[in-house]
Amino acid sequence: MSVLRYGEINKAAFQELLSKYHLIIIDSKDNQDIPGSFWGDEEAGLIENRLYCRDDTPVHSALHEACHYICMDDQRRQGLHTDAGGGYDEENGVCYLQILLSQYLPEMGIEKMFSDMDEWGYSFRLGSASRWFHEDADDARDWLSKHALIGNTLQPSWILRDL
């Protein structure tokens, strides 16, 4: 099974989703380095409010980097270039939010996000993204709620973190 790639989704729908957070997706050319990519290879890159993707970029990577942008405070967002930084709680919030946002991409959905995260090697104490999300992510939900990034119904609030 292979992970879903950026070139396999409706790019206009993905841009529309991320534009709610003032993110702009920039298509990078095949076989060229992706600007702002922390991990290199086909991983998405992030510079200021621009998310860089190639057709071979995994969608989970693009959503993960986008969620870093959403979850960081405005001060870090202003100087953002390549390394999103953030602590343990923020990283958990990023993972949780990327799962929530996956449901707004018809080609992805939550179950595909779970399997792609597992296949790519995201590690969770309970052994899988699905088990973490359903059984062990109270701290991530609390963190996202504290920063008003999700509401009581566990849906995205469509706002960026302020503080």
Q: Please report whether residue 161 resides in a domain.
A: no
Residue 38 counted as domain residue: yes
Question: Average pLDDT for residues 48-73, to the nearest whole number?
Answer: 97
Whole-prediction pTM: 0.95
pLDDT band at 126, cuts 50/70/90? confident
Q: What is the mean pLDDT of residues 49-53?
A: 98
- Please indicate, yes or no, if residue 160 is contained in any of the structural domains: no
Q: Is residue 76 assigned to a domain?
A: yes
How much is the pLDDT for 124? 86
The total of structural domains in the chain comes to: 1
pLDDT recorded at residue 125: 82
Determine which helix (DSSP H) or strand (DSSP E) holds 53, and give its type and residue range: strand 50-53
Summarised one tens digit per residue, pLDDT across range 105-120 is 999 999 999 999 999 9
What is residue 4's predicted lDDT score, i.e. its pLDDT?
A: 98
pLDDT at 87 over 90: yes
**Separation between Cα atoms, residue 162 and residue 122, nearest integer Å:** 27
Judge whether 83 lies within some domain. yes
Query: 133-156 burial, b if ≥16 CB within 10 A, otherwise e?
Result: beeebeebbebbeebebbeeeeeb
Q: Is residue 153 part of a domain?
A: no
Domain assignment present for 12: yes
Per the structure, the complete domain to which residue 14 belongs is given by 6-146
| Residue 156, in any domain of the structure | no
Element (H, E) at 99: helix 88-102
- pLDDT value, residue 1: 64
